Amino acid sequence: MGLTNLEQLVQSIFKSFTTRAFNGSVTTGASYVALATDAPARLVYVSNTTGEILYVRLDGKDIYLPDGAIFPINNISNLNTVFVKTAASAVATVTFRYEL
């Protein structure tokens, strides 16, 4: 038996508020590295658990991210537009979570 109009409407509402989320990581040092080569995303949370100061570059602007901070970035189209690097030359792994 098919869905009623009300059931279809409820499904449509839930679908618009449901996002798909993924986790990722990238290794960086003193040079900027993109979060991914090609991965569509709408929202990304960069988490600095490196023990170092981290810089996040978006649209040519650098954002200072101290150790232990989580930084949300809204309205992006692709993870290849977000770059990270450590303030020192130490190699570190940066973790992030992104949503479609």
* Domain residue spans of the chain: 20-99
How far is residue 13's CA from residue 6's CA, in Å, rounded to a whole number? 11
Higher pLDDT, 47 or 3: 47
Residue 16 pLDDT: 61
Residue with tokens 């009623």: 4
CATH number for the domain whose boundaries are 20-99: 2.60.120.10
- Give the pLDDT confidence of 24-50 residue by residue, as tens digits: 999 999 999 999 999 999 999 999 999
- Helix, strand and coil percent figures for the chain, each rounded to 5: 15, 45, 40
Q: How confident is the model at residue 100 (pLDDT cuts 50, 70, 90)?
A: confident
Residues 85/56, Cβ–Cβ less than 8 Å: no
- Give the pLDDT confidence of 54-97 residue by residue, as tens digits: 999 999 999 999 999 999 999 999 999 999 999 888 899 999 99
Residue 4 pLDDT: 73
How far is residue 43's CA from residue 99's CA, in Å, rounded to a whole number? 5
Residue 10 pLDDT: 73
